[in-house]
Protein backbone atom coordinates (compact mmCIF):
# COMPACT_ATOMS: atom_id res chain seq x y z
CA UNK A 1 0.00 0.00 0.00
CA UNK A 2 1.15 3.51 -0.75
CA UNK A 3 0.32 6.98 0.52
CA UNK A 4 -0.73 9.30 -2.31
CA UNK A 5 -0.68 13.03 -1.55
CA UNK A 6 -3.46 15.03 -3.18
CA UNK A 7 -2.98 18.27 -5.08
CA UNK A 8 -6.24 20.00 -6.01
CA UNK A 9 -6.15 22.86 -8.49
CA UNK A 10 -8.59 25.77 -8.46
CA UNK A 11 -7.94 28.94 -10.42
CA UNK A 12 -4.25 28.11 -10.62
CA UNK A 13 -3.81 27.55 -6.89
CA UNK A 14 -3.32 24.54 -4.65
CA UNK A 15 -6.46 24.30 -2.52
CA UNK A 16 -8.56 22.01 -0.37
CA UNK A 17 -12.35 21.89 -0.33
CA UNK A 18 -14.69 20.66 2.36
CA UNK A 19 -17.04 18.00 0.92
CA UNK A 20 -16.12 19.26 -2.55
CA UNK A 21 -17.76 22.66 -2.01
CA UNK A 22 -16.12 25.69 -3.61
CA UNK A 23 -17.67 27.95 -0.98
CA UNK A 24 -15.66 26.02 1.63
CA UNK A 25 -12.19 26.42 0.18
CA UNK A 26 -8.80 26.74 1.84
CA UNK A 27 -5.92 27.99 -0.32
CA UNK A 28 -2.59 26.40 0.61
CA UNK A 29 -0.29 27.72 -2.10
CA UNK A 30 -0.15 29.89 -5.19
CA UNK A 31 2.65 27.64 -6.52
CA UNK A 32 1.22 24.18 -7.30
CA UNK A 33 4.36 23.09 -9.18
CA UNK A 34 6.43 23.77 -6.07
CA UNK A 35 3.97 21.77 -3.94
CA UNK A 36 4.10 18.84 -6.38
CA UNK A 37 7.90 18.83 -6.21
CA UNK A 38 7.70 19.01 -2.42
CA UNK A 39 5.70 15.78 -2.21
CA UNK A 40 8.16 14.05 -4.51
CA UNK A 41 11.06 15.24 -2.35
CA UNK A 42 9.34 13.75 0.70
CA UNK A 43 9.27 10.35 -0.96
CA UNK A 44 5.85 10.16 -2.60
CA UNK A 45 5.67 7.51 -5.31
CA UNK A 46 2.49 8.85 -6.86
CA UNK A 47 0.64 12.19 -6.96
CA UNK A 48 -3.15 12.57 -7.03
CA UNK A 49 -3.71 15.66 -9.21
CA UNK A 50 -7.23 17.04 -9.62
CA UNK A 51 -8.48 19.93 -11.74
CA UNK A 52 -11.46 21.18 -9.72
CA UNK A 53 -12.39 23.75 -12.35
CA UNK A 54 -12.36 20.93 -14.88
CA UNK A 55 -14.59 18.76 -12.72
CA UNK A 56 -17.13 21.55 -12.34
CA UNK A 57 -17.05 22.77 -15.95
CA UNK A 58 -16.80 19.37 -17.62
CA UNK A 59 -13.50 20.07 -19.43
CA UNK A 60 -9.89 20.21 -18.22
CA UNK A 61 -8.86 23.82 -17.50
CA UNK A 62 -5.31 23.74 -16.13
CA UNK A 63 -3.40 22.30 -19.08
CA UNK A 64 -0.25 24.42 -18.68
CA UNK A 65 0.08 23.73 -14.96
CA UNK A 66 -0.53 20.01 -15.54
CA UNK A 67 2.26 19.99 -18.14
CA UNK A 68 4.59 21.89 -15.83
CA UNK A 69 3.94 19.47 -12.98
CA UNK A 70 4.44 16.47 -15.26
CA UNK A 71 7.72 17.87 -16.55
CA UNK A 72 8.90 18.63 -13.01
CA UNK A 73 8.32 15.17 -11.56
CA UNK A 74 9.71 11.70 -12.14
CA UNK A 75 7.03 9.91 -10.07
CA UNK A 76 3.68 8.67 -11.34
CA UNK A 77 0.76 11.08 -11.64
CA UNK A 78 -2.90 10.15 -11.56
CA UNK A 79 -5.10 12.92 -12.92
CA UNK A 80 -8.81 13.64 -12.88
CA UNK A 81 -11.27 16.50 -13.23
CA UNK A 82 -13.14 17.19 -16.45
CA UNK A 83 -12.03 14.05 -18.28
CA UNK A 84 -15.13 13.51 -20.39
CA UNK A 85 -13.83 12.50 -23.84
CA UNK A 86 -11.41 10.19 -25.65
CA UNK A 87 -9.70 13.28 -27.07
CA UNK A 88 -8.95 14.58 -23.55
CA UNK A 89 -7.60 11.18 -22.46
CA UNK A 90 -5.38 11.09 -25.57
CA UNK A 91 -3.99 14.55 -24.76
CA UNK A 92 -3.28 13.56 -21.14
CA UNK A 93 -1.54 10.43 -22.39
CA UNK A 94 0.59 12.48 -24.79
CA UNK A 95 1.88 14.73 -22.00
CA UNK A 96 2.82 11.71 -19.92
CA UNK A 97 0.06 11.30 -17.33
CA UNK A 98 0.37 7.77 -15.95
CA UNK A 99 -3.16 7.14 -14.70
CA UNK A 100 -6.30 8.92 -15.89
CA UNK A 101 -9.42 9.14 -13.73
CA UNK A 102 -12.89 9.07 -15.22
CA UNK A 103 -16.24 8.99 -13.44
CA UNK A 104 -19.11 11.08 -14.75
CA UNK A 105 -18.69 9.83 -18.31
CA UNK A 106 -19.34 6.22 -17.25
CA UNK A 107 -22.98 7.24 -16.78
CA UNK A 108 -23.37 10.32 -18.98
CA UNK A 109 -21.75 8.84 -22.10
CA UNK A 110 -21.13 5.09 -21.71
CA UNK A 111 -20.27 4.73 -25.41
CA UNK A 112 -17.41 7.23 -25.07
CA UNK A 113 -16.31 5.59 -21.80
CA UNK A 114 -16.11 2.26 -23.61
CA UNK A 115 -13.89 3.79 -26.31
CA UNK A 116 -11.64 5.34 -23.67
CA UNK A 117 -11.12 2.03 -21.88
CA UNK A 118 -10.69 0.18 -25.17
CA UNK A 119 -7.82 2.49 -26.14
CA UNK A 120 -6.23 3.15 -22.72
CA UNK A 121 -7.35 0.24 -20.55
CA UNK A 122 -4.33 -0.05 -18.22
CA UNK A 123 -4.26 3.70 -17.60
CA UNK A 124 -7.88 4.18 -16.59
CA UNK A 125 -9.12 4.50 -13.01
CA UNK A 126 -12.80 5.06 -12.25
CA UNK A 127 -13.80 7.41 -9.46
CA UNK A 128 -16.48 5.96 -7.21
CA UNK A 129 -17.62 9.03 -5.30
CA UNK A 130 -20.08 8.20 -2.53
CA UNK A 131 -22.28 10.76 -0.80
CA UNK A 132 -24.86 9.47 1.68
CA UNK A 133 -24.51 6.07 0.00
CA UNK A 134 -25.38 7.51 -3.42
CA UNK A 135 -23.07 7.95 -6.40
CA UNK A 136 -22.15 11.60 -7.04
CA UNK A 137 -21.01 12.90 -10.43
CA UNK A 138 -20.26 16.20 -12.18
CA UNK A 139 -17.71 17.44 -9.66
CA UNK A 140 -19.91 15.97 -6.89
CA UNK A 141 -22.70 18.43 -7.72
CA UNK A 142 -25.21 15.76 -8.70
CA UNK A 143 -26.24 12.75 -6.66
CA UNK A 144 -27.86 9.84 -8.43
CA UNK A 145 -30.32 7.28 -7.05
CA UNK A 146 -28.08 4.44 -8.15
CA UNK A 147 -26.63 1.75 -5.91
CA UNK A 148 -22.85 1.49 -5.64
CA UNK A 149 -23.01 -2.11 -6.86
CA UNK A 150 -25.12 -1.07 -9.85
CA UNK A 151 -22.54 1.56 -10.79
CA UNK A 152 -19.71 -0.93 -10.37
CA UNK A 153 -21.46 -3.42 -12.65
CA UNK A 154 -21.11 -0.80 -15.38
CA UNK A 155 -17.47 -0.16 -14.46
CA UNK A 156 -16.70 -3.89 -14.49
CA UNK A 157 -18.33 -4.32 -17.88
CA UNK A 158 -15.91 -1.73 -19.28
CA UNK A 159 -12.94 -3.84 -18.20
CA UNK A 160 -11.54 -1.35 -15.69
CA UNK A 161 -9.41 -2.89 -12.94
CA UNK A 162 -8.78 0.01 -10.57
CA UNK A 163 -11.12 2.37 -8.70
CA UNK A 164 -10.81 5.27 -6.27
CA UNK A 165 -13.44 5.05 -3.55
CA UNK A 166 -14.10 8.43 -1.93
CA UNK A 167 -16.29 9.12 1.07
CA UNK A 168 -17.53 12.61 0.18
CA UNK A 169 -19.36 12.98 3.50
CA UNK A 170 -15.98 13.00 5.25
CA UNK A 171 -13.88 14.65 2.53
CA UNK A 172 -11.96 17.68 3.83
CA UNK A 173 -13.79 17.66 7.16
CA UNK A 174 -10.80 16.67 9.33
CA UNK A 175 -13.27 14.76 11.49
CA UNK A 176 -11.83 11.30 11.02
CA UNK A 177 -12.15 8.28 8.76
CA UNK A 178 -15.51 6.45 8.77
CA UNK A 179 -14.09 2.94 9.10
CA UNK A 180 -17.45 1.19 9.56
CA UNK A 181 -18.95 2.77 6.44
CA UNK A 182 -15.96 1.98 4.25
CA UNK A 183 -15.62 -1.54 5.64
CA UNK A 184 -19.28 -2.15 4.82
CA UNK A 185 -18.87 -0.87 1.24
CA UNK A 186 -15.67 -2.86 0.68
CA UNK A 187 -17.37 -5.99 1.97
CA UNK A 188 -20.30 -5.39 -0.36
CA UNK A 189 -18.12 -4.92 -3.46
CA UNK A 190 -15.34 -7.45 -2.75
CA UNK A 191 -16.52 -9.89 -5.43
CA UNK A 192 -15.87 -7.29 -8.13
CA UNK A 193 -12.17 -7.83 -7.40
CA UNK A 194 -11.09 -4.25 -8.14
CA UNK A 195 -7.78 -2.81 -6.98
CA UNK A 196 -8.86 0.01 -4.68
CA UNK A 197 -7.52 3.38 -3.59
CA UNK A 198 -9.33 4.99 -0.66
CA UNK A 199 -9.96 8.68 -0.06
CA UNK A 200 -11.94 10.86 2.32
CA UNK A 201 -11.75 11.71 5.99
CA UNK A 202 -8.18 10.74 6.80
CA UNK A 203 -7.27 13.05 9.68
CA UNK A 204 -4.77 11.41 12.04
CA UNK A 205 -2.13 8.71 11.99
CA UNK A 206 -4.68 6.47 13.74
CA UNK A 207 -6.88 6.75 10.63
CA UNK A 208 -3.96 5.56 8.51
CA UNK A 209 -3.55 2.56 10.81
CA UNK A 210 -7.25 1.75 10.36
CA UNK A 211 -6.87 1.77 6.58
CA UNK A 212 -3.98 -0.67 6.93
CA UNK A 213 -6.51 -3.14 8.37
CA UNK A 214 -8.40 -3.06 5.05
CA UNK A 215 -5.51 -4.34 2.97
CA UNK A 216 -7.19 -7.73 2.45
CA UNK A 217 -9.89 -6.01 0.36
CA UNK A 218 -7.22 -5.23 -2.30
CA UNK A 219 -6.78 -1.70 -0.99
CA UNK A 220 -3.50 -0.65 -2.60
CA UNK A 221 -3.37 3.05 -1.82
CA UNK A 222 -4.61 5.88 0.35
CA UNK A 223 -5.08 9.46 -0.84
CA UNK A 224 -4.47 12.13 1.80
CA UNK A 225 -5.06 15.81 1.16
CA UNK A 226 -6.16 18.30 3.78
CA UNK A 227 -4.60 16.42 6.71
CA UNK A 228 -1.16 16.75 5.11
CA UNK A 229 -1.59 20.46 4.38
CA UNK A 230 -3.06 21.17 7.80
CA UNK A 231 -0.27 19.03 9.27
CA UNK A 232 -2.53 16.82 11.36
CA UNK A 233 -0.55 14.01 9.69
CA UNK A 234 3.11 14.04 8.71
CA UNK A 235 3.67 12.38 5.34
CA UNK A 236 6.76 10.51 6.54
CA UNK A 237 4.84 9.02 9.49
CA UNK A 238 2.02 7.86 7.25
CA UNK A 239 4.46 6.18 4.87
CA UNK A 240 6.01 4.22 7.76
CA UNK A 241 2.61 2.66 8.57
CA UNK A 242 2.45 1.11 5.11
CA UNK A 243 6.12 0.18 4.78
Report the relative pairing of strands 124-131 and 99-102 from DSSP bridges: parallel
C-alpha torsion sign, points 102, 45, 174, 200: positive
Q: What is the mean pLDDT of residues 215-222?
A: 97
Q: What would the pLDDT profile of 110-142 be if each residue is shown by its tens digit? A: 999 999 999 999 999 999 999 888 898 866 666
Percent of the chain with pLDDT over 90: 84
The whole-angstrom separation of Cα 220 and Cα 2 is 7
Taking CA atoms, 87 is separated from 64, 83, 84, 217, 240, in Å, by 17, 9, 9, 34, 39
Q: In three state form, how does the secondary structure of the chain look?
A: CEEEEEEEEECCEEEEEECCEEEEEEEEECCHHHHHHHHHHCCCCEEEEEEHHHHHHCCCCCHHHHHHHHHHCCCEEEEECCCCCHHHHHHHHHCCCCEEEECHHHHHCHHHHHHHHHHHHHHEEEEEEEECCEEEECCCCEEECCCHHHHHHHHHHHCCCEEEEEECCCCCCCCCCCHHHHHHHHHHHHHHCCEEEEECCCCCHHHHHHHHCCHHHCEEEEEECHHHHCCCCCHHHHHHHHC
| Confidence category of residue 195, pLDDT binned at 50, 70, 90 | very high
The whole-angstrom separation of Cα 219 and Cα 139 is 24
pLDDT at 81: 95
| Confidence category of residue 171, pLDDT binned at 50, 70, 90 | confident
pLDDT at 141: 65
pLDDT at 186 over 90: yes
pLDDT at 19 over 70: no
pLDDT at 214 over 80: yes
Model confidence, pTM:
0.95
pLDDT at 184 over 80: yes
| Confidence category of residue 20, pLDDT binned at 50, 70, 90 | low
Range in 93-97, 164-168, 173-177 the model is least confident about: 173-177
Contacts of residues 182-188 at CB distance under 8 Å and 24 or more positions apart, as own/partner, are 182/214, 183/214, 185/130, 185/148, 186/214, 186/217, 186/219, 187/217, 188/148, 188/149
- Is it true that domain 2-242 has CATH number 3.20.20.70? yes
Percent of the chain with pLDDT over 70: 96
Q: What would the pLDDT profile of 199-209 be if each residue is shown by its tens digit? A: 999 999 999 99
pLDDT at 137: 81
pLDDT at 45 over 80: yes
Mean pLDDT of the chain: 93
Active-site residues: which are they? 8, 129
Amino acid sequence: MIIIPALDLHQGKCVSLTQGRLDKETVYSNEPVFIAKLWQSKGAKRLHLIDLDGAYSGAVQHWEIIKQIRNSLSIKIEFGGGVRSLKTVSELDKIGIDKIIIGTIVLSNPKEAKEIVKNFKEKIIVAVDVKENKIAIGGWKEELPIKITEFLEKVKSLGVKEIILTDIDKEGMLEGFNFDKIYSILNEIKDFNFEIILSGGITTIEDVKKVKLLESFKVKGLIIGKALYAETIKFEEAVKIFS
